[in-house]
Structure 1
Amino acid sequence: MSGELSFHGVFVSALLVWALVALGLSVLIRRVLRAVHFYRWVWHPALFDLSLFVILWCAVTALAFHAPLP
């Protein structure tokens, strides 16, 4: 995995791309958790959301790093 991705000649940091992917996944998971009323069991919802995002960002980055290149 290289440090940058090229989108039509513009180089973008790979970590930014993986952060956007993790943000999208985080939004979907938070909607599901809110629909099943999971947040009534969480002490600090904002801290939980931040932790969820960081865990997803690490997971997406690790998967991208270990994925075979085309």
Structure 2
Amino acid sequence: MPRSTAILEAYVPTILLLFVAGALFTWLLDRALALTGLYRVVWHPSLFRASLLVCVCGLIGLAFYR
């Protein structure tokens, strides 16, 4: 995997693109969890969302840079 990607003749770090993909996936997962009512049993929903974003982006980064 290249360390940087050219978008409109500007080099963008690939990890930034992976973060954007992870944020979109986390948003979809968050909507699904909200519809199922999981947030009623979560102690701190904002902290849960932030940690979910970190976990998803970490897993995507590990999968691509392995």
TM-score (norm 1): 0.86
Q: CA deviation at 1:40?
A: 0.4
Segments of structure 2 that go 5 or more residues without pairing to the other structure are none
Counting matched residue pairs gives 66
**Helix, strand or coil: the match of 2:12?**
strand
Which ranges of 4 or more aligned residues in structure 1 deviate by more than 2 Å? none
Deviations 1:8-62 (A, max 9, x none): 3210011211110010000000000000000001000000000000000011111
2:39 aligned with 1:39: yes
- Cα distance in 2 for partners of 1:28, 1:15 equals 20
**Helix, strand or coil: the match of 1:28?**
helix
- Cα distance in 1 for partners of 2:61, 2:37 equals 29
Partner of 2:59: 59
RMSD over aligned CA atoms reads: 1.0
- Cα distance in 2 for partners of 1:62, 1:9 equals 27
Segments of structure 1 that go 5 or more residues without pairing to the other structure are none
**Helix, strand or coil: the match of 2:6?**
strand
